[in-house]
Amino acid sequence: AVLVTEPLRPALSAPGVEFVVDSEGQYQASLRWISRRTEALMKHLQSNSVKLLLSSVKQEEVVIYYAKLYGVSVVECLSSEEMALICEITGVSPYTPFGDNIHREITETAAATFCRPLLLGSKRCVHIGFTSVCAFQPHCLILCGPVDGVNEQHAAALQGAFTMLQQLFKRVDR
């Protein structure tokens, strides 16, 4: 599994920089460049045996399309607490693919023992098992309630638990 905290669809320009398109042809060429770059990234993930992409942000359709095409499952919209806990359990940092070389070796991969979709009422979830690299051995915890209000309370409690676990992992420098 690879963790990401930014959209994998490349931007046409840097933040704060205006990108001017003079013609429909130039616009279509830009879209083709984005598509080729996204496909190259997914092909690169596949060649590095990445089967699962865990993202804290919603990925665009072109990313989902090429991920599916290259056999990479995508889990989107993870909270910062969930990402921090996964980083702590697995010992990996989020991957940043863009820059000068998108084909650099991917060293920040987490070993997932399983990944299954899970339907809890009307909520679509994912059940992932990780190999821990620290003393903490993760276990499964699923909280369910009969109505959305109770589910929201459970979710808030679980988010608090993630925050507490994150604090437990912080080192105190002496």
Chain segment 64-97, per-residue pLDDT in tens: 999 999 999 999 989 888 898 888 888 899 988 7
Domain residue ranges of the chain, discontinuous segments joined by +: 2-140
What residues does 112 pair with on adjacent strands?
130
Helix (H, G, I), strand (E, B) or coil at 125: strand
Instruction: Quote the CA–CA distance of 33 and 28 in Å, as a whole number.
Output: 9
pLDDT tier, 22 (very low <50, low <70, confident <90, very high otherwise): confident
């699962």: which residue's tokens?
A: 52
Contact 54, 30 (CB under 8 A): no
Q: Phi/psi of residue 114, each to 5°?
A: -160, 160
Instruction: Quote the CA–CA distance of 3 and 94 in Å, as a whole number.
Output: 5
Q: What percent of the chain has pLDDT over 90?
A: 28
Question: 2-140 belongs to which CATH class?
Answer: alpha beta
Q: What's the whole-model pTM score?
A: 0.73
Residue 122: predicted pLDDT: 75
Residue 111: predicted pLDDT: 86
Residue 144: predicted pLDDT: 57
Residue 156: predicted pLDDT: 81
The predicted-structure confidence for 123-174, as pLDDT tens digits, reads as follows 777 888 887 777 766 666 555 566 667 777 777 887 888 888 878 877 666 5
Q: Average pLDDT, stretch 103-126? A: 80
The helix or strand, by DSSP H or E, that contains position 115, with its residue range, turns out to be strand 112-120
